[in-house]
Amino acid sequence: MEKQVILNAKQIELTIKRLCHELIESHDDFKNSVIIGLQPRGIQVVGRLKLELESILGHSIQCGNLDITFFRDDFRRTEKQLLPSVTNLDFSIENKKVVLVDDVLYTGRTIRAGLDALLTFGRPSKVELLVLIDRRFSRDLPIQADYYGKTVDTLKMERVSVDWSEIEGIDQVLLYTKAGNE
Amino acid sequence: MNNLSVDHLTGIRDLNHDDIQLIFKMADSFKDVINRPIKKVPSLRDITIANLFFENSTRTRLSFELAEKRLSADIINFSASSSSVKKGETLIDTVNNILSMKVDMVVMRHPNPGAAHFLSQRISAKVINAGDGTHEHPTQALLDAYSIREALGEVEGKKVVIVGDILHSRVALSNIYCLQKLGAEVMVCGPTTLIPKYIADLGIKISHNLKDALQWCDVANMLRIQLERQEINFFPSLREYSMLFGLNKPLLDSLDKRIVIMHPGPINRGVEITSEVADSDQSIILNQVENGVAIRMAIIYLLASKIER
């Protein structure tokens, strides 16, 4: 596998800033909006968004984590046991505008599970989707993002990985491609 | 460790430390699920589970049924009192008939020790033992240990005394195995006639004095006297048993520490435990019941993930 940096730390920072301004355009001061990250890798994106939004808006906004393990459609269909992460939603989503957040949008199956999981907590007035990376033309389900950081065209055998300084030690988005397959 | 080392849950004896920790980790997530506005997840919507109760049960049966429904499994219920067992059908015949209806998992309570193990070796469905005679009651032991972990932070290093009818109790045996695997110290306490002769071989302490036992422990698990399993008298009277081995408020207050009180139910108020103690803030009896659903969801989920498609 050859790897190629598609976003570096500086570009990620700029992208997050842009996404925050786009969010403010449609959510105003976030008084009736909440941001929910999908476990396990959406929550880092939420962390960055929250930091930036709060510094722009000057007040705190409600953020949570949502685990989708029990709503996945591949239970008993993969070799690996599906193990859950923590769900942390200490507020009501009833009649709120919810922004679901994940790092990479690929087949759309995770988002489908995320929507089902979300609705067990109540009835939001609106749900939107924000992703850092959109792997275009590879959807299994009719799901698209409302906000996206960067769009990439990828093949099925390729892999996109988003690294964070708090976990991997560096902020970067990598595209792994098969050697010789440009 | 990402999956259970066993294909069936017939007893705690077959589980290892990692299995128990995995079940607890899953139960944490399911406890979160059952406290949501919509307490249901779709994971097991293509699984059918048969609850076979050849012996009476309220709590365990409801708890299993609720756990299965919370996981979206289809369920069928069966109780011996209203079935062909009364007409002379054997266990294997009964179960095979039920399995022909395409059942993936069997939850069974049976009066004969070893019934769940016997079944697990002869059928293709996953088997969960919901109590087999005086042998094991693994889900009860797991929920007891889970409740101790919740109340005290961890089980390792804690001292647990099991008080009462140890001889006829499947809860006691499963609890001993489970607590020992998790690194707790275990003592049993009761009249000499209700303590099995060779139980010390399991590496546990024995006491015949309730006050001493309570003074030693961090957690006291009070068991019911199983009069339905006793064909002879093991002690002179319930009144005498209650005076010597019943837990009451003055006794609890005379200890120089605060212990956690547990009871697997059903409670005989005024015999092994007084109402005052059972309803006190030291008692986690109702937490045990709540945790029972989460623990059973965890076990069913983990075993179901091993069902071949």
Q: How many percent of chain B have pLDDT more than 70?
A: 97
* Structural contact between residues B163 and B216, judged by C-beta atoms closer than 8 angstroms: no
The pLDDT of residue A46 is above 80 = yes
Reported as a single tens digit per residue, the pLDDT across A143-159 is: 999 999 999 999 888 99
- Quote the pLDDT of residue B277: 95
Say yes or no to pLDDT of B293 above 70. Answer: yes
Tell whether the torsion through CA atoms of B260, B175, B294 and B79 is positive or negative.
Answer: negative
User: Is residue B229 in some structural domain?
Assistant: yes
Same domain, B78 and B182: no
Confidence label for A76 from pLDDT (cuts 50, 70 and 90):
confident
By DSSP bridging, strand B260-262 and strand B219-222 are parallel
**Shared domain check, B166 and B126:** no
* Cα Rg of chain B, angstroms: 19
Do residues B62 and B87 both lie within one domain? yes
Is the domain of B148 the same as that of B182?
yes
Q: What pLDDT digit, counting tens, does each position of B131-159 carry?
A: 999 999 999 999 999 999 999 999 999 99
Beta carbons within 8 Å of B294's beta carbon, 6+ residues apart = B27, B28, B30, B31, B34, B67, B146
Q: Both B114 and B154 in a single domain? A: no
Helix (H, G, I), strand (E, B) or coil at B179: helix
Per-residue pLDDT reduced to its tens digit, B79-110: 877 666 667 788 888 888 888 888 999 999 99
CATH of the domain at B280: 3.40.50.1370
Residue B123 maps to a domain: yes
**Distance, in angstroms, between B40 CA and closest chain A CA?**
8
Is residue B99 located within the same domain as residue B37? yes
For B265-287, what is the mean pLDDT? 93
Q: How large is the average pLDDT for residues B46-68?
A: 93
Sheet of B185-189: strand order equals B205-207, B185-189, B159-163, B219-222, B260-262
The predicted structure's pLDDT at residue B145: 97
Query: Contact at 8 Å (CB) between B189 and B162?
Result: yes
Same domain, B235 and B247: yes
pLDDT for B98: 83
Instruction: Please indicate, yes or no, whether residues B154 and B219 belong to a single structural domain of this protein.
Output: yes
Check residue B19 and give its pLDDT: 96
Do B223 and B243 share a domain, yes or no? yes
pLDDT (average), residues B61-65: 95
The tally of domains found in chain B comes to 2
Partner-chain contact A81 B307, CB within 8 Å? no
Asked whether the predicted pLDDT for residue B124 surpasses 70, the reply is: yes
Partner residue opposite B33 with nearest CB, options A70, A72, A82? A70
ipTM value, please give it: 0.82
Checking if the pLDDT of A182 tops 60, the result is no
Kindly determine whether residue A70 and residue B25, on different chains, have CB atoms separated by under 8 Å: no
Mean pLDDT of all residues in chain A? 92
At A113, is the secondary structure helix, strand, or coil?
A: helix
Angle at A128 between CA A122 and CA A133, to 5 degrees: 130
Is the domain of B39 the same as that of B158?
Answer: no
Contact, B147 vs B73, CB < 8 A? no
Nearest to B37 among A82, A84, A120 (CB): A120
Reply yes or no: is the peptide bond before residue A40 cis, omega within 30 of 0: yes
Whether B173 is in a domain gets the answer: yes
CATH classification (class only), A9-155 = alpha beta
Interface touch B26/A84, C-beta < 8 Å: yes
Global pTM? 0.90
Average the pLDDT over A119-140 and give the result: 94
Give a yes or no: residue B25 inside a domain.
Answer: yes
- Both B132 and B144 in one domain: the answer is no
Selected for mutation to probe chain A from B22, B36, B105, B302 (highest A CB count within 10 Å) is B36
Size of interface A-B (CB pairs under 8 A): 50
In this complex, is the C-beta atom of B72 within 8 Å of any C-beta atom belonging to chain A?
A: no
* B90 & B160 share domain: no
| pLDDT digits 0-9 by tens, B171-180 | 999 999 999 9
pLDDT band at B223 (very low <50, low <70, confident <90, very high): very high
Residue B309 forms part of a structural domain: no
B84 touching chain A per CB within 8 A: no
B278 found inside a domain: yes
- Domain, as residue range, for B183: 138-284
Mean pLDDT throughout B41-46?
92
